[in-house]
Amino acid sequence: MGKTIVEKIWSQHLVADLADGASLIYVDRVLLHERTGSIALKSLAETGRPVRSPGQALVCMDHIVDTFVNRSDDTAMPGGKAFIQQTREAAAQANIRVLDIDDPSQGIVHVVSPELGLAQPGLTIVCPDSHTCTQGGVGALAWGIGSTDGEHALATQTLAIRRPRMMRVTFDGVLGAGVTAKDMILHLIGEHTASGGAGYAVEFAGSAVQALSIEGRLTLCNMAVEFAAWTGICPPDEKTLAYVRGRPLAPEGALWDQAAADWLALRSDPDAVYDKEIAIDAAQIAPTITWGTSPQHAVAITGAVPDPAAFADPRQRAGAEAALTYMDLEPGVPLIGLPIQSAFIGSCTNGRLSDLRDAAAVLRGRRVAPGVRAIVVPGSMRVRAAAEAEGLDKVFLDAGFEWRKSGCSMCFFSGGEHFAEKERVVTSTNRNFENRQGPGVRSHLASPATVAASAVAGRLADVRALGA
């Protein structure tokens, strides 16, 4: 019987089969950020356990840091300064590299890792953050862990885990105008629910996935966790090699030749068996947006708010009713034309250079509607520098957007900066839970292009109507 790509990477990293049915897996990379990294590093130091391989770990200052131009250790989050300083000190003691707030490579950990070439096909990567699965976009087996597992991985370079079931989601066909990887993953979750991937490692396949850029694949895998999957992964191909080659931490010379050959061979066998398969016609996907308080509350931008009575499952019906109350919406209301107060572009989902290009293409020669606050936060300082080299910053500023430094920013609220209470926000982030972007804030998830089009219109808008 053939093996899936996940099973192959698993076998290559298997240290031991444990008596309880779990596997001890070797971990190639341990990533940390200041919100959770200090906890794991401090605990190790207090128990006298050293970090086994400091060179295989990286700390990013991203979650708590301010994204204002003149930033420092001070942050709006209560206690945030202490988190930053304690993480910096603990990482220095453990001899782990830190991408600090003034580092030219600083950024969101899931953006920085592929960008630097730290994430590579076939590697196992963990981080105390649920969106670690992002790095499956380059063919890595990456998953989120808790701080305790982070401590264990740092001390032993291994983790004991149970192998997930295998799922393949195949997107075949050609995407229509204005449709992006973000629309693909929202469509999947909207059709198959936010628990549809629970217990599975999801392999994304098909002609539409192969046609995506690597940055698009990173977006696709990023929200596998919103599908409740253990991870998401895209098999590496020539595009992957072109993306990784020449990055600061990528192999060079003979090592590159060997790695490239191995990576191109790293794919599921034709006779591999999956526990579940989902097939989607990519041509049928429209620009997609959420209406409620779960990523599964997603419909085409041309659709309307559904009636909770249409949900057969009692839990989904109750969730839809609660969502409509929170979002202040009524069944049957068209999404196009719904007034917004703010627009946000950024996050580990959509804060890469291609995302900024997509949004800038919509905004060029246009202005944000009066009364709308619009913010763009690049996913890393390298993304920011590249965008400025192309003049994208000027496009955003001329359109009326705030142009920030990199970080997680208002993707999530933890006591720091946030949108105003009960504001309606269109956002390129990954979660639209209640209070996710501030107390009472009503968030609509969408692609950067849809966010930009909506900011210009002052209401939720179909980017295709702008001809961009």
- Identify whether residues 229 and 336 lie together within a single domain: no
Average pLDDT along the chain: 97
8 A C-beta contact, residue 65 and residue 34: yes
The verdict on residue 55 lying in a domain is: yes
Domain count, the chain: 3
In a domain, 130, yes or no: yes
* For residues 120-124, average pLDDT: 98
Tell me if 246 is assigned to some domain.
Answer: no
Q: Are residues 425 and 296 located together in one domain of the fold?
A: yes
- CB count within 10 Å of CB 135 equals 31
Q: Return the structure tokens found at 101.
A: 């707030």
How far is Cα 324 from Cα 177, in angstroms, rounded to an integer?
Answer: 30
Closest listed residue to residue 433, CA positions, set 232, 230, 225, 290: 290
pLDDT above 80 (res 127): yes
| Cα distances (angstroms) measured from residue 163 to each of 25, 59, 416 | 10, 27, 38
Looking at the structure, do residues 279 and 292 belong to the same domain, yes or no?
no
- The kind and range of the H/E element at 201 are strand 200-205
Residue 258 lies in a domain: no
List, for residues 194-251, the tens digit of each pLDDT value.
Answer: 999 999 999 999 999 999 999 999 999 999 999 999 999 999 999 999 999 999 999 9
Q: Are residues 271 and 378 in the same domain?
A: no
The verdict on 12 and 148 lying in the same domain is yes
Whether residues 217 and 68 share a domain: the answer is: no
pLDDT in tens, 395-415: 999 999 999 999 999 999 988
| Tokens (6 digits) for 52 | 């086994």
Q: What percent of the chain has pLDDT over 90?
A: 96
**Is residue 242 a part of any domain in this protein?**
no
| Domain's final residue, options 112, 136, 161 | 161
Is residue 247 assigned to a domain?
A: no
330: pLDDT confidence band, cut at 50, 70 and 90? very high
Among residues 161, 178, 196, the one where a domain terminates is: 161
| Cα-based distances in Å from 146 to 36, 77, 295 | 8, 21, 22
pLDDT range class, residue 43, cuts 50, 70, 90: very high
Q: What pLDDT sits at residue 468?
A: 58
Distance (Å, whole) CA 218 – CA 240:
11
Pairing of strands 14-17, 23-26: antiparallel
Residues 6 or more apart in contact with residue 86 via CB below 8 angstroms: 38, 42
How much is the pLDDT for 1? 85
Determine the residue type at 421: E
User: Given a cut of 80, is residue 467 above it in pLDDT?
Assistant: no
- For residue 385, pLDDT over 80 is answered with yes
Bridge-based pairing of strands 158-161 and 165-172 is unpaired
Write the pLDDT tens digit of every residue in 161-195: 999 999 999 999 999 999 999 999 999 999 999 99
What is the per-residue pLDDT for 112?
Answer: 98
Q: By three-state DSSP, how is residue 291 classified?
A: coil
* CATH number (domain holding residue 230): 3.40.1060.10
Please check whether residue 249 lies inside any domain of the structure: no
Q: What is the spatial distance between Cα 131 and Cα 411, in angstroms, rounded to a whole number? A: 12
Domain residues for 218?
A: 165-236+263-284
CA 297, CA 158: separation in Å to the nearest integer? Answer: 37
* Mean pLDDT computed over 103-108: 98
Of 136, 161, 186, which one is at a domain's C-terminal end?
A: 161
Same domain, 23 and 156: yes
- pLDDT tens-digit readout, 305-318: 999 999 999 999 99
Residues 77-100: pLDDT tens digits? Answer: 889 999 999 999 999 999 999 999
CATH number where 353 lies: 3.30.499.10
322 & 432 share domain: yes
Residues 115 and 174 in one domain: no
Q: What is the mean pLDDT of residues 104-131?
A: 98
Statement to judge: residues 351 and 428 lie in one domain: yes
Distance CA 322, CA 22 (A): 39
Statement to judge: residues 333 and 457 lie in one domain: yes
Mean pLDDT of the 350-358 span: 98
Residue 254: partners with Cβ closer than 8 Å, 6 or more residues away: none
Q: Does a structural domain hold residue 248?
A: no
Q: 131: closest CA among 359, 412, 319, 415?
A: 412
**Residue 294 and residue 327 in one domain:** yes
Residues in CB range of 233: below 8 A, 6 or more apart:
5, 6, 136, 139, 140, 141, 201, 202, 203, 204, 221
